[in-house]
Amino acid sequence: MRHFLVLFAMSYLGASLCVWWLSGFVPWFLLPDFPFLAIVFSGLFVSGIGGFLCALPPALFREITASGPSWSMFLGSMALYFGSREIGRRFLLRNEASLLSVVVSLLAIESFSVVLLLSLAGAHPFSILWGAQEAVRIAWTSLIAVPLFLDLSMRWRRVKE
């Protein structure tokens, strides 16, 4: 229950901070995607049905706050959870470099899939400016993820012991 409450609070506070409070003042690519971070953290570090339940509210927050076809962000977020869960099962993620590489690769895959889906729909979403903004968003969100993930995972390992 503690995992659920912490991740729910983090994703809601982060989503509300980025979408409703800071979106008019700070460019979108400098705002970290806290629901994304909560989904990835629950996939990597929260085992069992608890991880799935922890990933549901952030996936709903992403669906509500992102513009796109109905249920696309929710289903993409759940796919992200299952992908990060498989990574968490197969690799030992205790140091900064491995966490950073996992988060960067998941963000890059998500960005590539959005570009691919928009291209298949007939839109032309890619430009050099968009690519630079997306690279900044990936770097910024990944750099926030590493200390956050390490701190939360160490705290929860101490609670388990």
Q: Is 122 left (phi over 0), alpha (psi -120 to 50) or beta?
A: left
Mean pLDDT score of the chain? 82
User: Alpha helices of the chain — where are they, by DSSP H?
Assistant: 2-16, 34-45, 49-65, 72-90, 96-120, 128-160
Tell me: the pLDDT tens digits for 62-72?
Answer: 888 877 677 88
Quickly tell me which residue has 């659920």 as its tokens: 4
Domain ranges of the chain: 2-160
Calpha distance 154→157 (Å, rounded): 5
pLDDT, one tens digit per residue, over 71-108 is 888 988 999 999 999 988 887 767 788 888 889 999 99
Question: pTM of the full predicted structure?
Answer: 0.84
| Alpha-carbon distances of 63 from 35, 67, 68, rounded to whole Å | 10, 8, 8
28's enclosing H/E stretch is none
